[in-house]
Amino acid sequence: MVPLSAYVNPSEQLVAHGCSIGAYHAVNITFRHPGLFKRVVGLSGRYDLTQPVGTYPDLFEGHYDTDIYFHMPNHFVPNLEDPELLAKFRSLEITLAVGEADYFCDSNRRISQALWDKGVSHTFDIWPGTAHKACYWRSMVERYF
């Protein structure tokens, strides 16, 4: 998709954005390829799909390997040490938002703390209630875009 996007729109301002599982995908692809993106906005995301949370199961049913590790931002970000990779992270505009009662709030807190621990500036907002519905996401999009 990235080459197609560059062909259709040659701007160097590639942005990844998503809500819920889409937020996971947006953050995951941006964090795995930080040099390709300018900005990422994750709304109500779950950044560790290996942990059951509320009514959401471990999506891998206990299976774990390096592929899963490198696709779980809450797993690999705390261990980042490469100065070049961290510089790319620090150049990103990162926005994370989640509801205070959302099952995924703790996952957002963990990724936010991991980013701060690595010196990666970002916006992390906690909204009232669960905020895990389209009506909230529309308000979030208006605020962050």
What are the tens digits of pLDDT across the range 13-31?
899 999 999 999 999 999 9
Identify the band that residue 3 occupies on the pLDDT scale cut at 50, 70 and 90: confident
Residues with Cβ within 8 Å of residue 131, at least 6 apart in sequence:
44, 97, 98, 99, 100, 101, 102, 140
Fold of 2-144: Rossmann fold (3.40.50)
Residues 6+ apart with CB under 8 A from 2: 14, 33, 36
What average pLDDT does the segment 30-43 reach? 97
Q: What is the mean pLDDT of the chain?
A: 96
Can you tell me the distance from the alpha carbon of 129 to that of 98, in angstroms, rounded to the nearest whole number? Answer: 9
> From CA 71, how far away is CA 21, in angstroms rounded?
13
The first and second tokens of residue 126, run together, are 């906690």
pLDDT in tens, 122-135: 999 999 999 999 99
Is the pLDDT at 96 greater than 90, yes or no?
yes
pLDDT of residue 4: 83
CA dihedral of residues 36, 138, 121, 110 (deg, nearest 10)? -100
* 2 — pLDDT class (breaks 50, 70, 90): confident
What is the SS3 assignment for 85?
helix
Q: How many CB atoms lie within 10 A of CB 24?
A: 23
**Predicted confidence band of residue 99 (pLDDT cuts 50, 70, 90):** very high
Give the burial string for 98-108 (b: 16+ CB within 10 Å, else e).
bbeebbbbebb
Indicate whether 1 pLDDT > 80: no
Sequence spans of domains, the chain:
2-144
Q: Give the closest residue to 122 by CA, choosing from 89, 91, 95.
A: 95
Asked if the model's pLDDT at residue 39 lies above 80, the reply is yes
* Mean pLDDT (whole number) for 64-78: 98
- The pLDDT value recorded for residue 15 is 94
Q: Tell me the C-alpha distance between 9 and 131, whole Å.
A: 32
Q: Rounded distance, CA 144 to CA 51, Å?
A: 28
106-122 confidence digits (pLDDT tens): 999 999 999 999 999 99
